[in-house]
Structure 1
Amino acid sequence: MTINKREMIAGSIILLIGMAGLFIIYDYNIGTARRMGPGYLPLALSLMLSAVGALIIVTSITALPRNLSNKSFPSVSWRPMTAIFFSLGGFMAGMYLGGLLPAIVLTILISSIADKNSTWTGVIALLITVPFAAWLIFNQGLGLPIPFLELRR
């Protein structure tokens, strides 16, 4: 059994930051899930940070020999990651500039770059069905006041 000291120290630091957050928000009003107080979100984040730190500490103790624990990482596919990242930006820009329709169109067009096997017929089918379904669900079904097409100047 070996202990990865770097991971143990990193996990301990993360755990200490989470515990410090819990100590700092001790006097805050937490509230309930229905009526959240100013300490609700810091409490949740501090608890999650503490849990992640504890998990890192536990995983730093392994039963593998030291030469097997340093596995090489798989290669990263950058094309899908960047396309999805920029599609989120396209959604935000589309919502700001024109409403739900331009946001969905930009998201579908940009994210279709992520898949090498994507075809224009599939993209066009999505461009027709997804905005209609979103309008039907959000505007008509749920009655949410999301502008479908409202161009800003």
Structure 2
Amino acid sequence: MAIASQKDFFSGLMFTAVGASFAWGATSFEVGTAAKMGPGYFPLMLGVLLAILGLIVTVRSLSKGGPGGDKIGAFAWRPLCFVLGANLAFGALLVGVPALGFPAFGLIVAIYALVIVASLAQPGFQLKSTLILATILAIGSYLAFVKLLSLQFPVWPSFLTN
């Protein structure tokens, strides 16, 4: 049987693999019942639903597809690297990396780094619009997480607040 849509086929396989992995990982926690859910109940159900959705997409890709078989294009390395790098930079800057002697720079600096590095993923990078977005996200995150939710994590660089 020929694959009618390569995009749907491989995305369905990815959904199935991720869903099955979550479901399998959730079995190491107490699952419980629908009336009394344990910590593994939600990841198990979410994993099972994701795996079922992946199977449906995979099976449908064998019969329905776009013109020309919906071929998979070139892999987008640039966005992948910059978006993953932005998330890693955010985590490292937010709380630091004590094992490497890297201090915490806090929420504000981490959000600016996240937005700037992630914005480099697009070909038409514009610093002005990126800084405007970073400022809006930094203010909104500060208000939402620090003021409204009272979450305890560094807001400013540790060497400035000590």
Instruction: Render the CA deviation track for 1:40-76: whole Å, top value 9, x for unaligned.
Output: 1223312321331233123323489xx943x432334
For residues 63 and 137 of structure 1, the distance between their equivalents in structure 2, rounded to whole angstroms, comes to 43
Alpha-carbon distance, 1:84 to partner:
1.1
Structure 2: tracts of 5 or more residues without a match: 4-8, 97-103
Alpha-carbon distance, 1:38 to partner:
4.7
Alpha-carbon distance, 1:88 to partner:
0.9
Over the aligned positions, Cα root-mean-square deviation in angstroms equals 3.6
For residues 71 and 83 of structure 2, the distance between their equivalents in structure 1, rounded to whole angstroms, comes to 25
Contact 1:138 1:146 in 2 (8 A): no
Indicate which of 141, 146, 159 corresponds to 1:139. 146
Q: Which residue identity does 1:123 align to in structure 2? A: T
- Report what 2:136 is aligned to: 129
After the TM superposition, which parts of structure 1 deviate over 4 Å for at least 4 consecutive aligned residues? none
- Report what 2:113 is aligned to: 106
CA gap 1:58/1:85 in 2 versus in 1, 3 angstroms: same
What is the TM-score when the length of structure 2 is the normalising length? Answer: 0.61
CA gap 1:44/1:116 in 2 versus in 1, 3 angstroms: closer
Tell me whether 1:4 sits opposite 2:40 in the alignment: no
Alpha-carbon distance, 1:39 to partner:
4.2
**Identity of counterpart residues, as a percentage?**
18
Alpha-carbon distance, 1:148 to partner:
1.0
How many residue pairs match? The answer is 134
For residues 53 and 156 of structure 2, the distance between their equivalents in structure 1, rounded to whole angstroms, comes to 43
Tell me whether 1:93 sits opposite 2:100 in the alignment: no
For residues 144 and 38 of structure 1, the distance between their equivalents in structure 2, rounded to whole angstroms, comes to 22
Q: Which residue identity does 1:54 align to in structure 2? A: I
Contact 2:109 2:157 in 1 (8 A): no
CA gap 1:52/1:94 in 2 versus in 1, 3 angstroms: same
For residues 44 and 75 of structure 2, the distance between their equivalents in structure 1, rounded to whole angstroms, comes to 33
Q: Which residue identity does 1:46 align to in structure 2? A: V
Indicate which of 54, 57, 65 corresponds to 2:56. 54
Instruction: Render the CA deviation track for 1:15-54: whole Å, top value 9, x for unaligned.
Output: 9x95xx69xx6xx643449x63154122331232133123
Alpha-carbon distance, 1:90 to partner:
0.9
